[in-house]
Amino acid sequence: MWFCQADSFTPFTPSTLNKGVLYGLSFRSRPRLAAQAQAKLEISLLNPTSGEEAYSPEEETAIREFFNSAETRKDEASGAVAYYWPRTKWYSDYPEVRFIESFLIPSDEMEYYFLRLGEYEDDTEVSGGFWENPLKMALNRSIAFA
């Protein structure tokens, strides 16, 4: 099972802003996508522009590289696949983010399960209904004592 903990970051205060701590800051997320049928996603990856969203050749290359960089798990019996990106920039104007969002919108929500953990505890995104996936991908929150 993939597991990750929240990172600790410098708090945003007027003093850290004045010291330039935020210079060049880019927010990172840990997105995960489980799809019921790998074939449907792979067909979309072969020609990302075939849907409603249009991508330039450079953006199509960025999308393919993004998926090639993912850690993957596959359940051979069901054909389900999960993609995991440990720390990636997650902005809506990035072509790979637009691709994932445009892939999920028309899909039957029972065919996918999407989780994204941002840098802060309240920055979590969950969509889709493929909860009982054979890969056992799930969002877990816990309190622990050391």
The pLDDT of residue 27: 64
8 occurs within a structural domain: no
The pLDDT of residue 6 is above 80? no
Give pLDDT, residue 49.
67
User: Is 65 a residue whose pLDDT tops 70?
Assistant: yes
Q: Is residue 71 part of a domain?
A: yes
Q: What is the mean pLDDT of the chain?
A: 76
Per-residue model confidence (pLDDT) at position 35? 85
- Whole domain around residue 96: which residue ranges? 26-128
Q: Cα–Cα distance between 139 and 114 in angstroms, integer?
A: 10
Q: Is residue 29 within 8 Å of residue 119, measured between CB atoms?
A: yes
Count up the domains in the chain and report the number.
Answer: 1
Does the pLDDT of residue 8 top 80, yes or no?
Answer: no
Task: Please report whether residue 73 resides in a domain.
Answer: yes
Phi (first) and psi of residue 46, to 5 degrees: -65, -35
Q: Tell me whether residue 117 is in a domain.
A: yes
Q: What is the pLDDT of residues 10-57, one digit of tens each?
A: 333 333 333 333 333 346 788 888 888 777 777 777 777 666 678 888
Average pLDDT over residues 82-90: 88
Q: Does residue 135 sit within a domain? A: no
Look-up of token digits 């999960």: 82
Residue 78 included in any domain? yes
pLDDT of the residue at 58: 92
80-84/28-35 β-pairing: antiparallel
- Looking at residue 44, its pLDDT comes to 77
d(CA 112, CA 44): 14
